[in-house]
Amino acid sequence: MHYRQPKYQKHVSGKARVYLQGKDRWLGKYDSPESYAKYNYLVGLDMAGLVIDEELNKASLPPSPPEGFTVKVVCAEFLKYAKNHYVKHNPLTSRIEQTNEFDAMVRVVNTVVQLFGDTFARDFGPRRLEEVRDHYIANSNKSRQTINKDIGRIKTIFKWGAGKELVPIEVHQAHTCVTQLKKNKTPGVHDAPKIGAVDDDVLIATFLELPPVVAAMVDFQLLTGARPGEVVAIRPSLVDRSREVWEYRVEGDKMEGKFGKDQGDRVVMIGLRAQQTLQRYMDRPSDQFCFSPAENAKLVRDIRTRKQLGLPPDAPLPEPKRQNRKKANPRRPPKDFYTTGSYGQAIQRVAERVFPFPDGLTPEEKEAWKRRHHWRPNRLRHKAATSIRAQFDTDTARVLLGHKEASTTSIYAEQDLVRARQAALAAG
């Protein structure tokens, strides 16, 4: 059954609230990071089917009963920990927010509690874990890779519980005996389609139709190998232009929570061609975002006006003869910054227009067409990784892409088949 998430609301007192399980839950000052954190936590408990008890949440955990805690209690205690552990700084909103991993943990807890909530944690051994896995296989359309990740998340919950003496250590140790699903060895499970680099012909055809700011973002990402989240968050104050190669020090790096502050620091190197692309968007206050949907909307309107008047692309626009009829307060005005979602949507909409579905395709053929032609910006990073590794080496690509391990770079960088073909020809 689909979970309908309750709204984050503002009360006349200036406090935030959410209506959950038959009553209003007060979250603190409206629009504050603390209120969003508490909102996400309480909604997570509700999604997982756990009773929200404000007094119980404030109190310390009672002594363990003789038979031990139930799975439901262990999961509830884990979510209390997770709400403060799986967090990140969002450079777009300057808020501390829960990560996608927190949402994934909530979904996993929801499944485990539904199946084995009243089971004692001491009895949740490898067989119970395999039953959860079998439930995913039989009742969901999850890929093999996603199921393996979710089983790993359950192991993480019980490992944490063992460390807090909520779960016998033997239970956590026994879970390590449950191996991952192997490729082509599990009937009824499909593999997730590989996300590779976008094809050159598709990229060029789409690029030519992109609006100006989005085209600049695509060009910048291709030349630097930056993540989509790094592209949308760039501001003049974060770019060091004192050297020949500019350095963009990423704020709120994706790896910050994984490897700590020192190891998580990420620097995007900006070469001469990428500098030419970015330079046009640096003439603004240092704290403003370089790539703005509002600016893009204005440029698109100006381009359309010049075409209607038959003017050259760089010609100044004449003063309007009549009053501007544009709405003073539009319902959804363009924002001052892109998100990874709106950036990807801007590209995908153009790709769908340039490459519409041909008539007569089967559902499988439609899916294959969509994978090849209707691309999103994460595939640009794959393309940049392949290009960098082909020109230099894997370790150079690893540093430029901001990976800790070379094995991660190998996932992004497709095999350089050009060299392989040249070697085969040379070998006869």
Helix axes 212-224, 378-391, angle to 10 degrees: 40
CB burial of residue 16 (10 Å; 0-12, 13-18, 19+): buried
Give the predicted TM-score (pTM) of the model.
0.72
Cα–Cα distance for residue pair 197/203, rounded to 1 Å: 10
CA atoms within 13 A on the CB side of 295: 17
C-beta separation of 128 from 290 below 8 A = no
Average pLDDT over residues 149-163: 96
Count of CB atoms within 10 A of residue 70's CB? 20
C-beta separation of 146 from 195 below 8 A = no
Give 65's pLDDT tier (boundaries 50, 70, 90).
Answer: low
Average pLDDT over residues 93-97: 78
Of 333, 347, 337, give the one whose Cα is nearest residue 293. 337
**Local structure of residue 221 (DSSP, 8 states):** H
CB burial of residue 186 (10 Å; 0-12, 13-18, 19+): middle
Of residues 204 and 329, more confidently modeled: 204
pLDDT in tens, 232-286: 999 999 999 999 999 999 886 555 545 444 445 788 889 899 999 999 999 999 9
N- to C-terminal Cα distance for the chain? 61
Of 40, 135, 130, give the one whose Cα is nearest residue 87. 40
Average pLDDT over residues 374-379: 92
Of residues 318 and 145, more confidently modeled: 145
Domains of the chain: 9-175 (no CATH), 200-317+333-412 (1.10.443.10)
Average pLDDT for the chain:
82
Token pair of 6, please? Answer: 């309750």
**How far from the centroid of its chain's Cα atoms is residue 270's Cα?**
23
pLDDT in tens, 30-63: 888 778 778 877 877 777 666 676 554 554 555 5
